[in-house]
């Protein structure tokens, strides 16, 4: 009896996979589920966070967030939602008002679609800004006729949710290279420190992107 229980415990330990160790899989190994069944964002008991907003990222913002050099493609198959400046400051204020009990962790949501055309079609329907509490219903569950594979990474005060999206019934994942690059880049990121620092610090700890000013010639 003791040997059986030890084997069961051993199997459980082997099956456990740390959230930040999910890039070893190949595209064919990704587990795709219907959009109605895939896990969404998690909030625990921090219900106030559901009212905090995220906004659609510009292409260069996603590259800066992932600490990648600017490229022409800039992940044409990917769409990302980042915390708004209001959300960053609200997290800090909530943490202070609750004497450290309120969470300081924000969420970044990245969707990698199987084609650029699919991404363009979906983005026309999605709002530019949305409360975190509506992401599961309107963005994830709202993708009817689609399958998703979900990845979650904790990086200090930012939790990354990455979703690979394909049409139901399709095999493999055409944009597997984009997905793999994004996953590897997230894993390589250093932990984000705190939200007030993120508003001002350069490189990968800053998620604020100021587009270059137009210069008259």
Give the span between the Cα atoms of 36 and 5, in whole angstroms. 35
What confidence category does residue 213 fall into, taking pLDDT thresholds of 50, 70 and 90? very low
Tell whether the model's pLDDT for residue 7 goes beyond 60: no
The helix (H) or strand (E) run that includes residue 9 is: helix 2-15
Which burial class, exposed, middle or buried, applies to 29 when counting CB atoms under 10 A from its CB (0-12, 13-18, 19+)? Answer: exposed
What confidence category does residue 207 fall into, taking pLDDT thresholds of 50, 70 and 90? very low
From residue 105, how far is each of 141, 143, 204 by CA, in Å?
23, 26, 16
Q: Read off the pLDDT of residues 78-127 as tens digits, 9 standing for 90 and up.
A: 999 998 888 777 766 776 777 666 566 789 999 999 999 999 999 999 99
Give the span between the Cα atoms of 108 and 50, in whole angstroms. 13
Tell whether the model's pLDDT for residue 19 goes beyond 70: no
Sheet arrangement for strand 146-155: 33-34, 146-155, 158-167, 106-113, 78-83, 53-56, 129-131
CA atoms within 13 Å, Cβ hemisphere of 203:
5
pLDDT of residue 20: 53
**Looking up tokens 């990968």, which residue turns up?**
204
Tell whether the model's pLDDT for residue 190 goes beyond 60: yes
Tell whether the model's pLDDT for residue 183 goes beyond 90: yes
Residue 185 per-residue DSSP state: H
Q: Read off the pLDDT of residues 131-158 as tens digits, 9 standing for 90 and up.
A: 999 999 999 999 999 999 999 999 988 8
Tell whether the model's pLDDT for residue 196 goes beyond 80: no
Q: Measuring CA to CA, which residue among 40, 61, 27 is closest to residue 172?
A: 27
Tell whether the model's pLDDT for residue 193 goes beyond 80: no
Q: Read off the pLDDT of residues 20-67 as tens digits, 9 standing for 90 and up.
A: 555 444 444 578 999 999 999 998 877 788 888 999 988 788 888 888
pLDDT of residue 70: 80
The helix (H) or strand (E) run that includes residue 106 is: strand 106-113
Give the span between the Cα atoms of 143 and 125, in whole angstroms. 10
Tell whether the model's pLDDT for residue 77 goes beyond 90: yes
- Pick the residue with more confidence: 3 or 109? 109
């Amino acid at each position: 009896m003791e040997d059986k229980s030890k084997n069961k415990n051993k199997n459980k330990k082997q099956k456990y996979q740390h959230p930040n160790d999910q890039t070893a899989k190949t595209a064919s190994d990704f587990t795709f589920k219907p959009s109605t069944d895939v896990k969404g964002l998690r909030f625990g008991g921090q219900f106030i966070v559901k009212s905090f907003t995220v906004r659609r990222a510009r292409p260069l913002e996603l590259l800066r967030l992932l600490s990648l050099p600017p490229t022409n493609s800039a992940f044409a198959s990917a769409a990302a939602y980042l915390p708004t400046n209001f959300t960053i400051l609200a997290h800090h204020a909530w943490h202070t008002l609750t004497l450290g009990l309120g969470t300081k962790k924000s969420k970044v949501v990245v969707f990698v679609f199987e084609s650029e055309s699919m991404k363009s079609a979906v983005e026309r329907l999605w709002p530019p800004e949305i409360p975190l509490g509506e992401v599961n219903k309107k963005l994830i569950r709202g993708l009817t006729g689609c399958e998703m594979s979900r990845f979650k990474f904790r990086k200090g005060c930012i939790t990354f949710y990455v979703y690979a999206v394909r049409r139901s019934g399709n095999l493999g994942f055409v944009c597997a290279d984009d997905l793999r690059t994004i996953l590897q880049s997230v894993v390589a990121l250093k932990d984000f420190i705190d939200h007030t620092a993120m508003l001002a610090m350069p490189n990968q700890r800053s998620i604020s992107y100021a587009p270059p000013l137009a210069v008259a010639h």
